A and B are shown apart, each in its own frame.
Chain A
Amino acid sequence: EPEVTQTPSHQVTQMGQEVILRCVPISNHLYFYWYRQILGQKVEFLVSFYNNEISEKSEIFDDQFSVERPDGSNFTLKIRSTKLEDSAMYFCASRAQGYYGYTFGSGTRLTVV
């Protein structure tokens, strides 16, 4: 069964450093998303991406965040200057046109120290 692949599975970074979280969505999917889950809280939407541009973003997704689909397969989330409160599980998801069963990756646990 096709999977959404995320790397790394765990990233520890110092406050103020830049991090890039990587995702390989399912190949024929057209919509891409990043969500995050702070420990003990609900899964929160960050950003959606379609047709090589951001479709929607949440208020969490401020100027410190950016997304890219650099080569037609990878989908990356960059946090320019990490803060302690960015520590969370970050999930990438993708879905096909006309189908709403989003497929999620296993997540990247980001720990900012």
Chain B
Amino acid sequence: DQQVKQNSPSLSVQEGRISILNCDYTNSMFDYFLWYKKYPAEGPTFLISISSIKDKNEDGRFTVFLNKSAKHLSLHIVPSQPGDSAVYFCAASGGFYTGTASKLTFGTGTRLQVTL
């Protein structure tokens, strides 16, 4: 049951360049999407989110784009920094607009390595 998919298990980017992490989903009931960053032996840390009525949300170096018709979202990090090296998880939730949003469905993660 892969309702949320991250097809790239790893990505290597040079410091200062843009990192683009991709995520696809299949469940049209999802209406809220989140990106989490995870270091080994730590819990996921919330980065940025977007609701289904928007197509872009920006927070500092992080921008999330949502293409509802393609059921695709992406996280852009620019400029990339060595401290961004971690595993990034895309997650989705339904029921945001009915106030019943509960569980998150996670993708399998993309390991980002930012090199000097």
User: Which residues of A are interface residues toward B (Cβ below 8 A)?
Assistant: 4, 6, 31, 33, 35, 41-45, 48, 50, 55-56, 58, 91, 93, 98, 100-107, 109
Query: For residue A103, which residues in chain B have a CB less than 8 angstroms away from its CB?
Result: 46
Q: Is the interface of A mostly helix, strand, loop or mixed?
A: strand
Query: For residue B49, which residues in chain A have a CB less than 8 angstroms away from its CB?
Result: 100-101
Chain B contact-residue range equals 20 to 34
Q: Are A44 and B101 in contact (CB under 8 A)?
A: no
CB < 8 Å neighbour of B43 from A4, A55, A58, A101: A4
Query: For residue B91, which residues in chain A have a CB less than 8 angstroms away from its CB?
Result: 43
User: Which residues of B are interface residues toward A (Cβ below 8 A)?
Assistant: 32, 34, 36, 41-46, 49, 89, 91, 93, 96, 99, 101-109
Q: Are A106 and B104 in contact (CB under 8 A)?
A: no
Query: For residue A56, which residues in chain B have a CB less than 8 angstroms away from its CB?
Result: 102-103
